[in-house]
Structure 1
């Protein structure tokens, strides 16, 4: 019709049906591409690259990988969508970890096969030997990685020297937990044993740096309950991570308060020992602003409002990427988690694209130091490969260089 305007969605209106279909088709296409990319190296290296397996072995391997590609999206939707089926989530998460390890080592095995072929090493049996080696290495890493994920973390000890720290606070013991990720695998007993380890460290301050759970406080009540038994002399403080913003973030702040912790929801508390004081400040996760929850965003000015600027500040912020704001504000020490140290190698290389640090102590600007924990638990796949979990004991010292212990 002459004079008719093209169909354009105005602000607040739903996009046209055709646009929604194209968007859905685009997301589906990306998902299919990712699944194919993950499965192609294992299929090629283990079954198809001249290994000469009997036909039933070739067909069986092909069918298993194809079936996983088809089933995985449905398992993820059932496990992490509206239904929140823990059983489906366990299957989806575990299988994703298995495929990721197979992808990594199959790709490396394929490269090794090409190099050996170029050097004319191995002869006709080379491809089969590579396939067997990849299978054995992957199985060993998955077994070891599962043990590493499920065990109680070892304690990592570190001295952190803060020039502005008063002598009365020299030797203050700060225990850091992060990324416990209580989730589809019931780890209530694990949580209780973590609490026992923490209580054996004689902490002055205990910090939980966020990503407490995958699930609401009601669903993860039993797993989080042991946190109520954590002991400290001066304070127990907690900040939200990005995962709380898909699992009732305000509910987790309330839950931790009920357990006796101080939720540092863009606020601070002051602790004192020997006549000297330390400001413990915390901010919401950087994803909070996009969550739609009123009053939730990372607000460092609000967190420090009323604090004496001459006092040293320990800031808890879930993601290391918040450190530029901390450095600009002259924070003495930021404590973060989020990265898991990569959790399953070589994912640490991808984490480094998004975060300034993957793990450990680092310096940013003249005053600010950042400690990034590898995390106490795990997210999703119940594996940790070359990225061990940790309970961290930071001993604060007055002046001098920071050293590991």
Structure 2
């Protein structure tokens, strides 16, 4: 028998041991987060020196306790096995409201209280009550504004993007990007139709959808997605999968987009030609595709570029910005992505940046690769957008060789 008492753990085993506390914490995060989201505002608004009358304190505490109880139950019922839309709406709305209330309870609970103390405004429970009413007022205003921002048709964001390898014949090519429409529990069929009407005013040569069409199966959300069939483009309408498709039978969405007249670019490309010049338009499945277990799905850039002339400029559709490292290695000229929602509800922006290399807008990577990250056309879950407006993007591609006007 071999004596293993002095055997040192391998590097991988040691790393697993070092990470285990974090893994344990992440396991309990779904339980910890809701408690923090409701308990912190409760403490700041009711029990930090306000001295509310006992009935008011009891009613307020009961409301926070009810929110803590209802939110996770509704989300589990709405997004779990039962997929009940009414429950998802309740749970998602409470999630967004609690996040905004938590954020401003923390910020104003510290900063405003400090400012009032410096200015000598109020004393004791009067100062604490000023903070309470300020937090509630800011929360109500931001939720009302955020709801209006989430439900409106996005404004068009237009920008010129110069690609050094783009031929003069393709100068001025109009590329419209929509993404993260997230058709879901709230019926947005009319909103979807208005978005498509807006896209059709932009006289696009190429229209791109970079995934996360919906939350739910294609069969379930067909009515909301159907207006996408009315989108017009002189050259092509192209689509790639997002991570949410892989929560909801991704192949069904690929088939529906094909049925609606869009080209699903599943690790393949097509060519856009004009004025004697050519642009390669390629697309890859989302990076979560391989772990989905769905046969034939996975992000493969080499497959997407197979057979393409390496001397031609490449426009790549990839749902998540973090695919940019592979795009740089593959010599891509411009990658179009979504996924981040621009953070959707501030200050969630800072958490998004932990996972993604870009939050929104145009960024440079490597020697020649550009990345455009859209803030998204719709919203996920909570029907609010706070300091993260949605967008329909019009990118006008420019060639350095374009003729100058005389």
- Asked if these proteins are the same fold (TM beyond 0.5), I'd say yes
Following superposition, the deviation at residue 27 of structure 1 comes to: 7.7
Following superposition, the deviation at residue 28 of structure 1 comes to: 7.6
2:122 matched residue in structure 1: 122
1:9 matched residue in structure 2: none
Partners of 1:399 and 1:51 lie apart in 2 by 64
Query: SS in structure 2 opposite 1:218?
Result: helix
Partners of 2:351 and 2:26 lie apart in 1 by 21
1:30-85: CA deviation from partner (whole Å, max 9, x where unpaired)? 33321221112210222111123222221111111112212222211210111110
1:165-211: CA deviation from partner (whole Å, max 9, x where unpaired)? 01110000000000000000000000000000000000000000100
Query: SS in structure 2 opposite 1:220?
Result: helix
Q: Does residue 378 of structure 2 align to residue 383 of structure 1? A: no
Following superposition, the deviation at residue 123 of structure 1 comes to: 1.4
Gaps of 5+ in 2: 1-23, 402-406
Query: SS in structure 2 opposite 1:306?
Result: coil
Contact 2:267 2:299 in 1 (8 A): yes
1:198-242: CA deviation from partner (whole Å, max 9, x where unpaired)? 000000000001000000000000000000000000010000000
Partners of 1:388 and 1:26 lie apart in 2 by 33
Following superposition, the deviation at residue 26 of structure 1 comes to: 8.0
2:20 matched residue in structure 1: none
Query: SS in structure 2 opposite 1:363?
Result: strand
Partners of 1:321 and 1:301 lie apart in 2 by 17
1:377-396: CA deviation from partner (whole Å, max 9, x where unpaired)? 00000000000000000000
1:257-312: CA deviation from partner (whole Å, max 9, x where unpaired)? 00000000111011111111111100000111100011111100000000111111
1:145 matched residue in structure 2: 146
Contact 2:168 2:400 in 1 (8 A): no
Contact 2:340 2:352 in 1 (8 A): yes
Matched residue count: 376
Query: SS in structure 2 opposite 1:219?
Result: helix
1:34 matched residue in structure 2: 33
Following superposition, the deviation at residue 104 of structure 1 comes to: 0.3
2:46 matched residue in structure 1: 47
Query: SS in structure 1 opposite 2:142?
Result: helix
2:161 matched residue in structure 1: 160
Partners of 1:395 and 1:113 lie apart in 2 by 45
Partners of 2:152 and 2:47 lie apart in 1 by 37
Partners of 1:368 and 1:347 lie apart in 2 by 27
Partners of 1:322 and 1:27 lie apart in 2 by 25
Contact 2:210 2:336 in 1 (8 A): yes
1:5 matched residue in structure 2: none
2:213 matched residue in structure 1: 212
Query: SS in structure 2 opposite 1:100?
Result: helix
Partners of 1:173 and 1:85 lie apart in 2 by 40
1:88 matched residue in structure 2: 87
Partners of 1:276 and 1:113 lie apart in 2 by 60
1:231 matched residue in structure 2: 232
Q: Which runs of 4+ in 1 moved over 4 A?
A: 25-29
Trace 1:273-288 onto structure 2 (pairs within 5 A): 273-288=274-289
1:311-332: CA deviation from partner (whole Å, max 9, x where unpaired)? 1100000000000100011100
Partners of 1:298 and 1:49 lie apart in 2 by 51
Contact 1:45 1:109 in 2 (8 A): no
Query: SS in structure 2 opposite 1:294?
Result: coil
Instruction: Provide the TM-score with structure 2 as the length reference.
Output: 0.90
Following superposition, the deviation at residue 121 of structure 1 comes to: 4.3
Partners of 1:281 and 1:314 lie apart in 2 by 6
Following superposition, the deviation at residue 341 of structure 1 comes to: 0.2
Partners of 2:148 and 2:47 lie apart in 1 by 31
Contact 1:166 1:276 in 2 (8 A): yes
Contact 1:94 1:382 in 2 (8 A): yes
Kindly report the root-mean-square deviation, in angstroms, between the aligned alpha carbons of the 2 structures.
1.4
Partners of 2:42 and 2:235 lie apart in 1 by 55
Trace 1:357-396 onto structure 2 (pairs within 5 A): 357-396=358-397
Partners of 1:127 and 1:50 lie apart in 2 by 6
Partners of 1:234 and 1:141 lie apart in 2 by 41
Query: SS in structure 1 opposite 2:64?
Result: helix
Contact 1:116 1:122 in 2 (8 A): no
User: Does 132-141 or 61-70 show the bigger shift?
Assistant: 61-70
